Chains A and B, each alone.
Chain A
């Protein structure tokens, strides 16, 4: 297995009038060929900004202030716009949550796929259309050469997301960042697409970062999990190990709040409190105010430390003493 992406100490901050929002504050991980990494966290935990940082598409006033992103061995942080653009779509691409909003309603599917191919070198319409049709059939859209003349509104939500995936795959990139791509779809379609994505990744060797707040979706897909909280990685490790024995109380809370882990009729468990404002983070562990294990030690920000196959940022890692048996 070769490593395609290595992110180290990534910090993406937004300099606003109200202060500096540290949306991503020291995130590190690596990704191997054909691997699916699940990036999990609540809204506002910095998952999406991490994704945009990888593509060099953070909107002002946001900016990568520190860290390193090495894609296929080449550094992306500090690269100029032209270099970044040349790599977007070809080496790394991204798909989004709402397939209705991502495709341009005024252009045919074929035109949009052609534009993406023309962005990386000259290509004849015929060759571009052939490649487009090939990818559409790969994501399960049959009679795809006729479908190239169709407009997005002629497709259902699930089909549109398939088109978006096909577009992201046009140049066989090394990495695809998938930002909650199945959240807007209904459950049966969601399961279909998840299965197809798994096959596609295995076939093409494309690695994927699957961003989601839904631990259930990610756990069926990803081989490793990265749990983010308030812009930081709080836990990292193989999916099975993290799900079976979460070391961080936040991960534990996420697992406990899954509807499937509650007995029927029993009230759903939830993590008390809300995500802290990134403008006013507590000085120590950002999760401390919501944490049952918090004590005096938590006034100091915990560093990541390894426990077995997992890495966790907590002063009191391990199974909770007060844990209710599932």
Chain B
């Protein structure tokens, strides 16, 4: 197992290094930030001074070298726009995204797996057919449209829930959270539902497919022949046997939603990192873009690694293969 961890860690280092080069070169290739950061009526002297100060007069490889050596020491530079350290900027936005995404992905998984198991267990019942029809909707209706409809219905027409913002926050462990106050929860509700719908549909389909397949196996027949109740069979046998694909998709969804909840965050003006990256791209705030994308890569590497560890926890065959 230790060998496995070390191997994965080295892989992660290579992935991150490659990612930093790609991102740095990619960002360098699009537009000139000086045109956006400096007012067009500034004098040539001010322009040149700014270019020198930002280090934009040096060759690309030198810029990358400076960035890389600083990054290794935990310094990802300062935002061109906000003029504060990038890490601090991202860190201040991260909790908002984190709580929104965790709430929506976790509840989509719990609810989706439950509904999916039911739909797979009784595929011919009317409730199952309704669940499956709704899951098709969840897949095919565009997220931004659902978001707008949610605002229109629950915020504008009914006036039950706020249309945007984080609401009241409470400090815990030095970070401000919304989910700990009633007002905050009311603010989270709509964006969380908006984010969750697609994942819910996907989890339903995954759990249903797994359930239908597993219920036909001899393992289940043998358990039934031994007199196990249906509830025990579902809880103790089925749930474990369908869990591998569910954990995989959970990890991938968690990563991609954390990094790119952009649409929902924009519609509900949720001050998270998704909104930050979109704003940074529009003003070519290079340090923010580079740091954000590299951190996203780190996030995916970490999540994939965790998923692999969870696999070994669930499935003894995978565990055996790794120690061998």
Inter-chain CB contacts under 8 Å: number? 88
**A78-136 interface with B by 8 A CB criterion:** 85-90, 93-98, 101-108, 115-116, 118-120
Contact B241 A104 (CB under 8 A): yes
Contact A88 B225 (CB under 8 A): yes
Contact A104 B219 (CB under 8 A): yes
Q: Which of the residues B218, B224, B232, B315 comes within 8 Å of A106, measured between beta carbons? A: B315
Q: Which of the residues B217, B227, B236, B314 comes within 8 Å of A88, measured between beta carbons? A: B227
List of B residues within 8 angstroms of A21 by Cβ: none
List of A residues within 8 angstroms of B224 by Cβ: 55, 57, 88
Given that A89-B227, A102-B222 are contacting pairs, would A115 and B232 also be in contact in the complex, using a CB cutoff of 8 Å?
Answer: yes
In the complex, residue of chain A having the shortest beta-carbon distance to the beta carbon of B227 = A89
**A137-188 interface with B by 8 A CB criterion:** 151, 153-154, 164, 167-168, 170-171, 177
Contact A96 B218 (CB under 8 A): yes
| Minimum C-beta distance from B109 to chain A (A) | 19
Complex: A154 Cα to B319 Cα, angstroms: 12
List of B residues within 8 angstroms of A168 by Cβ: 225-226
**B106-158 interface with A by 8 A CB criterion:** none
Identify the interface centre among A86, A98, A151: most chain B CB within 10 Å of its CB.
A151
Q: Which of the residues A86, A87, A101, A120 comes within 8 Å of B219, measured between beta carbons? A: A101
List of B residues within 8 angstroms of A103 by Cβ: 219, 222
B240 at the interface (CB under 8 A from A): yes
Contact A89 B219 (CB under 8 A): no
Q: Which of the residues A102, A120, A151, A154 comes within 8 Å of B227, measured between beta carbons? A: A120
**B294-324 interface with A by 8 A CB criterion:** 314-317, 320
Contact B229 A119 (CB under 8 A): yes
Contact A101 B217 (CB under 8 A): yes
Q: Which of the residues A87, A97, A119, A153 comes within 8 Å of B228, measured between beta carbons? A: A119
Q: Which of the residues B226, B227, B237, B317 comes within 8 Å of A86, measured between beta carbons? A: B227
| Minimum C-beta distance from A145 to chain B (A) | 18
Complex: A287 Cα to B228 Cα, angstroms: 40
Contact B314 A106 (CB under 8 A): yes
Contact A119 B218 (CB under 8 A): no
Contact B227 A94 (CB under 8 A): no
Contact A115 B225 (CB under 8 A): no
B221 at the interface (CB under 8 A from A): yes
List of B residues within 8 angstroms of A151 by Cβ: 316-317, 320
Contact B222 A119 (CB under 8 A): no
Contact B227 A87 (CB under 8 A): yes
List of B residues within 8 angstroms of A86 by Cβ: 227
B25 at the interface (CB under 8 A from A): no
Contact B222 A94 (CB under 8 A): yes
Q: Which of the residues A87, A118, A164 comes within 8 Å of B222, measured between beta carbons? A: A164
Contact A98 B227 (CB under 8 A): no
**B235-256 interface with A by 8 A CB criterion:** 236-237, 240-241
Q: What is the interface size of chain B, counting residues whose CB is below 8 A from a CB of the partner?
A: 22
B223 at the interface (CB under 8 A from A): yes
Complex: A55 Cα to B222 Cα, angstroms: 11
Q: Which of the residues B218, B226, B240, B317 comes within 8 Å of A101, measured between beta carbons? A: B218
**B197-229 interface with A by 8 A CB criterion:** 217-219, 221-229
Q: Which of the residues B217, B218, B229, B320 comes within 8 Å of A85, measured between beta carbons? A: B229
Complex: A171 Cα to B225 Cα, angstroms: 12
Given that A102-B218, A115-B236 are contacting pairs, would A57 and B316 also be in contact in the complex, using a CB cutoff of 8 Å?
Answer: no
List of A residues within 8 angstroms of B219 by Cβ: 101-104
List of B residues within 8 angstroms of A95 by Cβ: 222
Complex: A86 Cα to B229 Cα, angstroms: 9
Contact A119 B227 (CB under 8 A): yes
List of B residues within 8 angstroms of A93 by Cβ: 225-227
In the complex, residue of chain B having the shortest beta-carbon distance to the beta carbon of A111 = B236
Complex: A287 Cα to B224 Cα, angstroms: 35
Complex: A214 Cα to B315 Cα, angstroms: 36
**A209-245 interface with B by 8 A CB criterion:** none
Given that A96-B221, A98-B218 are contacting pairs, would A116 and B316 also be in contact in the complex, using a CB cutoff of 8 Å?
Answer: no
In the complex, residue of chain B having the shortest beta-carbon distance to the beta carbon of A113 = B226
**A189-226 interface with B by 8 A CB criterion:** none
Contact B240 A107 (CB under 8 A): yes
| Minimum C-beta distance from B211 to chain A (A) | 15
Complex: A102 Cα to B217 Cα, angstroms: 8
List of A residues within 8 angstroms of B316 by Cβ: 105-106, 108, 151, 153
Given that A88-B226, A167-B226, A168-B226 are contacting pairs, would A153 and B317 also be in contact in the complex, using a CB cutoff of 8 Å?
Answer: yes
| Minimum C-beta distance from B88 to chain A (A) | 45
Q: Which 10 A-B pairs have the closest CB atoms?
A: A89-B227, A94-B225, A88-B227, A89-B226, A101-B218, A102-B222, A151-B316, A106-B240, A116-B226, A119-B227
The interface of chain B, by Cβ under 8 A from chain A, is 217-219, 221-229, 232, 236-237, 240-241, 314-317, 320
Instruction: Return 7 A-B CB contacts under 8 Å, by A number.
Output: A97-B218, A101-B217, A101-B218, A104-B219, A119-B227, A167-B226, A177-B225
The interface of chain A, by Cβ under 8 A from chain B, is 55, 57, 85-90, 93-98, 101-108, 115-116, 118-120, 151, 153-154, 164, 167-168, 170-171, 177
